[in-house]
Structure 1
Amino acid sequence: MRSPRIDFDTMVLAVVEDLEERWHAELGLVEFAVEETPMVPDDWDSGTVPLASMVRGSGGAPTRLVLFRRPLELRAENRSELSALVLTVLVEQVSELIGRPPEEVDSRYDAGD
């Protein structure tokens, strides 16, 4: 029996592999990661918790794109919704990174998710 963490990582990895295969040349050096929760400052006043974070690389450092597992899981009612949300968040982050519309980045993208 696999843990929820392993299931989540496997879900993310499948989407990342698809995106890297298609957009390898445009992505360049990107480090994809999963963390449990985001670190937000004590004075965070937003009504929402981030689902992902992207820090663009500079010099020899890669761009780092992080998905936050717990906030994503809490927004999904079931595995199917979680899978769609992971796809949506990753596609939107890659879209921003390479400067292409999300619908072009992945045809499965649905802005309504």
Structure 2
Amino acid sequence: MTPSRPRSPAPGRSRDRRGRGPRGPLAWPPVPAMRSRREVFDDIVIDVAERARTYLGSRYAGVEFAVEDVPLSDPAPWEEPAAPLGRLLPVGGSVGHRVVVYRRPVEARVRDADDLGAVVREVVAEQVAALLGVPPSEIEL
């Protein structure tokens, strides 16, 4: 009897290295520690946006909240030369307005995760206050 050569594994199947059995999954099931910074930031903005809906009422029910990585590279002449943390943009159609929070500038200004939530609440409160025409101190998120 001649020794048989090991067969190559079928496509999509893991190899049995050194006779120890098939290999396990390449990644474990998702756990909170495996979430990206972008996902954590998006969740914070969604939570703050839901709180802001109580202030917007039915008149501004169509306001959208969005997250972008960085603002446009060409700021308007009246804007500060520093990167803005958020903007209130008028949008045509049935929506009316969009509150945009810029992830990278916000993350650059915070020290830890606790500060991140506070800064996002402050940015959204400023934009909602501008939309409603009230001082930001009246908006508690």
Size of the aligned set, in residue pairs, is 107
Report the CA distance between 1:104 and its aligned residue.
Answer: 1.9
Q: Distance in 1 between matches of 2:99 and 2:36?
A: 23
Q: Is residue 31 from structure 1 mapped to residue 64 from structure 2 by the alignment?
A: yes
Which of the pair has the greater relative contact order for Cα pairs under 8 Å at 6+ separation? 1
CA RMSD of aligned residues (A): 2.3
**Secondary structure of the residue that 2:58 maps to in structure 1?**
helix
Please give the per-residue CA displacement for 1:44-96, whole angstroms capped at 9, x wherever unaligned: 79431111121124453421111000000000011111111100000010001
Q: Gapped runs of 5+ residues in structure 2? A: 1-33
Report the CA distance between 1:5 and its aligned residue.
Answer: 0.4
Normalising by structure 1, we get a TM-score of 0.81
Q: Is residue 50 from structure 1 mapped to residue 84 from structure 2 by the alignment?
A: yes
Identity %: 36
Q: Which has the larger radius of gyration?
A: 2
Structure 1 equivalent of residue 49 of structure 2: 16
Normalising by structure 2, we get a TM-score of 0.67
Q: Distance in 2 between matches of 1:71 and 1:19?
A: 21
Q: Distance in 1 between matches of 2:39 and 2:128?
A: 23
Matches within 5 A, 1:74-85: 74-85=108-119
Q: Is the 8 A contact 2:66 2:99 kept in 1?
A: yes
Q: Gapped runs of 5+ residues in structure 1? A: 109-113
In terms of fraction of residues, the more helix-rich structure is: 1
